[in-house]
Amino acid sequence: MTAITISASILSADFANLTDQIRQAESAGVDWIHVDVMDGAFVPNITMGPFIVETIHRITRLPLDVHLMIENPDHHIEAFAQAGASNLTVHIENTPNIHRTLTEIENLGCHPCIALNPGTPANRLEAIIPYVDMVLVMTVNPGFSGQKHIPEMVAKVIQVKRMLADQNRLARIEVDGGITAANLPVLVDAGANTIVSATSVFKYPGGIAAGVQALRSSVS
Ligand code: DX5
Ligand code: ZN
């Protein structure tokens, strides 16, 4: 049995019943709640900000895995840390002083994490591997839930795993986008140990508990 961490993305939750949806995800045994922050500039969609993170923090004790898909993330990390984020993930593509940003995230008491879009090569990570607790390999282009995963990202997960091993780092490898029970085993074999899912949790036809169970049993 492979132990995976499941980070349930509320992007596909029913926001009219958010508390109930999060309770159901908790009972189903998800490990983290994933919050997709989008600004309509770095990605085409606009979603939620620190206020929502703070609200969710009051609803659940699960760690909040906050994925920042925004321009100028440095301007906002303190607000997200204060709102209760556990992980703060910034994108390498738009964070020019990445070492400083990751150090600041750590100083704010959060886990510093770095995300790579599908078009960004793994070798961009080389110099910052010592400063990250998690690498997020995007398996879709960020912006929306419900997209189809890009199978070529399996090779990037393998590369990232090798790069972490070369530097003796135990950082997590997270995958995000289009994850289903059908494509998860290959990603886990490649080295992913932390899984983000919106659709396969909150929009699973048999309900949230069945969705989480399907993901877990696909790799057990
Ligand atoms: C995409 C977001 C994802 C998204 C995943 O930009 O980063 O976290 O919510 O949704 P699914 O699991 O439906 O692909
Ligand atoms: Zn995400």
Q: Helices marked H in the chain — which ranges?
A: 18-27, 50-59, 77-83, 98-107, 153-166, 184-190, 199-202, 208-218
**What is the pLDDT of the chain when averaged over all its residues?**
98
- pLDDT average, residue stretch 182-189: 98
Torsion sign over Cα 121, 167, 113, 214: positive
Question: Is 36 noted as a catalytic residue in this protein?
Answer: yes
Instruction: Give the Å distance between the CA of 107 and the centre of ligand 2.
Output: 23
pLDDT above 90 coverage of the chain, percent: 98
Give Cβ neighbours of residue 160 (< 8 Å, ≥ 6 apart): 122, 125, 135, 137, 173, 191
Give the active site residue among 31, 65, 133, 176: 176
**If you measure from the C-alpha of residue 197 to the centroid of ligand 1, how many angstroms do you get, rounded to a whole number?**
6
Q: Is the dihedral of CA 94, 37, 67, 103 positive or negative?
A: positive
pLDDT at 102: 98
Report CA-CA distances (Å) from 24 to 77, 92, 95, 126, 212: 29, 33, 35, 39, 10
C-alpha 2 to ligand 1 mean position (Å): 22
- State whether the Cα torsion 29-30-31-33 is positive or negative: negative
Pocket of ligand 1 (CB under 6 A): 9, 11-12, 34, 36, 67, 140, 142-143, 145-147, 176-179, 196-200
The pLDDT tens digits of the residues spanning 20-40 come to 999 999 999 999 999 999 999
What are the pLDDT digits (tens) for 189-214?
999 999 999 999 999 999 999 999 99
| Nearby residues for ligand 2 (ion, Cβ within 5 Å) | 36, 67, 176
Measure the CA–CA gap between 70 and 65, rounded to whole angstroms: 15
Q: Could you identify the atom of ligand 1 that is nearest to the CA of residue 38?
A: 6
User: What is the per-residue pLDDT across 58-67, written as a single tens digit (0 to 9) for each?
Assistant: 999 999 999 9
pLDDT at 1: 55
Say if residue 92's pLDDT is above 90: yes
Q: 160 and 173 in contact (C-beta within 8 Å)?
A: yes
Q: Examine the pLDDT at 186 and tell me if it is beyond 60.
A: yes
Summarize the confidence of residues 97-113 as an average pLDDT: 98
Q: Does the pLDDT value for residue 119 go beyond 80?
A: yes
Q: pLDDT of 76-88, one tens digit each? A: 999 999 999 999 9
Residue 198 CA to residue 140 CA, distance in Å, equals: 13
Q: Is the pLDDT of residue 166 over 90?
A: yes
- How much is the pLDDT for 2? 72
Closest residue CA from atom 6 of ligand 1: 142
Residue 89 CA: which ligand is closest?
A: 2
Ligand 1 mutation pick, 138, 196, 204, max ligand atoms within 8 A of CB = 196
Question: From ligand 2's centre to the CA of 58, what distance in Å?
Answer: 21
Rounded average pLDDT over 95-106: 97
Closest ligand 1 atom, residue 67 Cα: 7
